A and B are shown apart, each in its own frame.
Chain A
Amino acid sequence: MAPILQVKNLHHRYSIGTPFEHVALQDVSFSVERGEFIGVIGHTGSGKSTLMQHLNGLLKPTSGEILLDGKDIWSDKKFTRQCRFRVGLVFQYPEYQLFEETVYKDIAFGPKNMGLPTEEIDRRVREAAGFVGITDAQLEMSPFDLSGGQKRRVAIAGVIAMEPEILILDEPTAGLDPEGREEILRNIESYRRAKNATIMMVSHAMADVAKIADRLLVMNQATLAMDGKPMDVFSRSQELLDMGLDIPEITRLFLKLQEKGIPVNPVYTMQQAVAELRRIREGKSHA
Chain B
Amino acid sequence: MLKDITLGQFFPGNSAIHRMDPRTKLIALIVYIVALFSAGSWLSYGLVFAFLAGTIAISKIPVKAIVRGLKPLVIILVFTGLLNLLFTPGEKVLVAFWRITITLEGVVRAVLMMARILMLISGTFLLTYTTSPIGLTDGLESLLGPLKKIHVPVHELSMMMCIALRFIPTLIEETDKIISAQKARGADFENGKLLERVKALIPILVPLFISAFRRADELATAMECRCYQGGDGRTKMKLLRYKRNDLYAFVLLVLLLVAVIFAARLGL
Interface residues of A (CB under 8 A from B): 15, 17-19, 53, 56, 58, 81, 84-85, 88-89, 91, 94, 96-99, 109-110, 113-114, 144, 158-159, 162
Contact = CB atoms under 8 A, between A and B. Distances in A.
Majority secondary structure, B binding face: helix
Kindly name the residue among B178, B183, B210 whose own CB sees the greatest number of chain A CB atoms within 10 A: B183
Contacts of B64: 17
Nearest to A110: B185
A99 B203 contact: yes
Kindly name the residue among B11, B177, B211 whose own CB sees the greatest number of chain A CB atoms within 10 A: B177
B194 interface: no
A91 B206 contact: no
Contact of B184 (A15, A114, A144, A159): A159
Contacts of A91: 177, 180-181, 184
B185 A96 contact: no
Nearest to A101: B206
Interface string B119-131: 0000000000000
B175 to A, nearest CB: 12
A34 to B, nearest CB: 21
Interface bracket on B: 20 to 34
Contact of A162 (B6, B186, B203, B206): B186
Given A18-B65, A19-B62, A162 B185 contact: yes
B257 to A, nearest CB: 32
B186 A84 contact: yes
Contacts of B6: 18
Contacts of A159: 184-185
Nearest to B184: A89
B202 interface: yes
B210 A144 contact: yes
